[in-house]
């Protein structure tokens, strides 16, 4: 398969049949060791050993709002674990960071009890990703703000946000505003951004991904290898499911400036995540190369495509 065909392929569902599994820490558990937080898990049903992805939801959002994105990623041969970190949260994200670390520590003793016996997680291949404030938490985890029992092999920020404005970051602040300052000990990073995230939906609400605390600022502090992809005409919440239920779900269409529809942005984000993890968890770099070499294969127009692969 050529790099171009590989690039196009990641934006479609993969060859695996994926299903969703709910594992609730407050309900009778399938595992002798219940998870620290309720989980939504997307996994292939075919027998095999699969890399893992911990996916962290955005501010005041539900993990279920990402079902279509999670299933897309899982269909390419990944086990995706999405904890519900909280129901209500304030400006302090320290508890979320600790909960994310506790979920990582639960994966090996607990995940094998939840999945079908023939579906096996690979503990040596674990990526962490997060959207919005969850992206900040993912960076915090990779930067060692909470210790984990497993090594994080790759980091993905999906339109990450660190507060309302520069100088108004949520605790603990992650951005330092010093270029290439993140000490990630060589962990590869992909930062996915939204072109409309820094714009207001209406005069009553601030931008959902304000300039000064969003994707460009995170990428500026990343050392190579690091990748930055920005979808020009899509908004901060366009990675969510087409239908998000309940009061919170309806609010996702009202608070942030959106693109015309969510599907292209969601497929782009999921495909970019797959290509990145294929490169750094499975040594299949043609998927990632194809995105750079054939932008026409990408389902959105990209305003930024930056591959920082060396210190030169």
Q: What is the DSSP string of 165-205?
A: STT-PPBSP-----TT----TT--EEEEEETTTTS-SSTTS
Any catalytic annotation for residue 24?
no
Any catalytic annotation for residue 49?
no
Identified catalytic residue from 75, 76, 159, 217: 159
Identified catalytic residue from 76, 131, 215, 236: 236
pTM over cut 0.75? yes
Any catalytic annotation for residue 181?
no
Ordered per-residue pLDDT tens for the chain, 312 residues:
555 566 789 999 999 999 999 997 555 555 568 899 999 999 999 999 999 999 999 998 999 999 999 999 999 999 999 999 998 888 889 999 999 999 999 999 999 999 999 999 999 999 999 999 999 999 999 999 999 999 999 999 999 999 887 877 888 999 999 999 999 999 999 999 999 999 999 888 899 999 999 999 999 999 999 999 999 999 999 999 999 999 999 999 999 999 999 999 999 999 999 999 999 999 999 999 999 988 889 999 999 999 998 765
Comparing C-alpha atoms, which of 160, 295, 169 is closest to residue 239?
160
Counting beta carbons within 10 angstroms of the beta carbon of residue 28, is it exposed (0 to 12), middle (13 to 18) or buried (19 or more)? exposed
The domain that contains 145 carries what CATH number? Answer: 3.40.50.1820
Domain count across the chain: 1
CA distance 119 to 52: 12
CA distance 138 to 142: 6
Tokens 């490169």 locate to 279
Find all residues with CB under 8 Å of 89, minimum gap 6, and list them. Answer: 59, 60, 95, 96, 133
Distance from the first to the final alpha carbon of the chain:
30
Identified catalytic residue from 132, 217, 238, 241: 132
**Which domain, by its residues, includes 265?**
3-308
């Amino acid at each position: 398969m050529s790099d171009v065909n590989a690039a196009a392929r990641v934006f479609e569902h993969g060859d695996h049949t994926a299903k969703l599994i709910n594992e609730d820490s407050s309900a009778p558990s399938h595992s002798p060791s219940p998870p620290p937080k309720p989980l939504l898990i997307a996994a292939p049903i075919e027998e095999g050993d699969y890399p893992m992805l911990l996916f962290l939801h955005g501010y005041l959002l539900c993990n279920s709002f990402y079902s279509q994105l999670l299933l897309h990623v899982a269909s390419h041969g990944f086990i995706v674990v999405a904890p519900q970190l909280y129901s209500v949260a304030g400006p302090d994200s320290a508890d979320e960071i600790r909960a994310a670390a506790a979920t990582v520590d639960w994966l090996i003793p607990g995940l094998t009890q939840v999945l079908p016996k023939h579906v096996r997680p690979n503990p040596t291949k674990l990526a962490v990703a997060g959207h919005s404030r969850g992206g900040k938490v993912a960076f915090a985890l990779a930067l060692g703000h909470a210790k984990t029992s497993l090594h994080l092999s790759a980091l993905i920020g999906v339109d990450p946000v660190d507060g309302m404005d520069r100088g108004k970051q949520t605790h603990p602040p992650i951005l330092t505003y010093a270029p290439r300052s993140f000490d990630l000990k060589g962990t590869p990073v992909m930062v996915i951004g939204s072109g409309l995230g820094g714009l207001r939906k209406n005069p009553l609400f601030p931008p959902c991904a304000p300039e000064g605390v969003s994707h460009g600022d995170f990428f500026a502090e990343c050392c190579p290898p690091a990748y930055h992809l920005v979808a020009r005409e899509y908004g901060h919440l366009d990675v969510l499911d087409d239908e998000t239920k309940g009061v919170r779900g309806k609010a996702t269409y009202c608070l942030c400036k959106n693109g015309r529809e969510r599907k292209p942005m969601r497929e782009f984000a999921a495909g970019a995540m797959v290509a990145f993890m294929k490169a750094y968890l499975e040594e299949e770099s043609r998927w990632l190369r194809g995105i750079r070499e054939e932008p026409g294969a990408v389902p959105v127009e990209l305003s930024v495509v930056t591959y920082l692969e060396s210190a030169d």
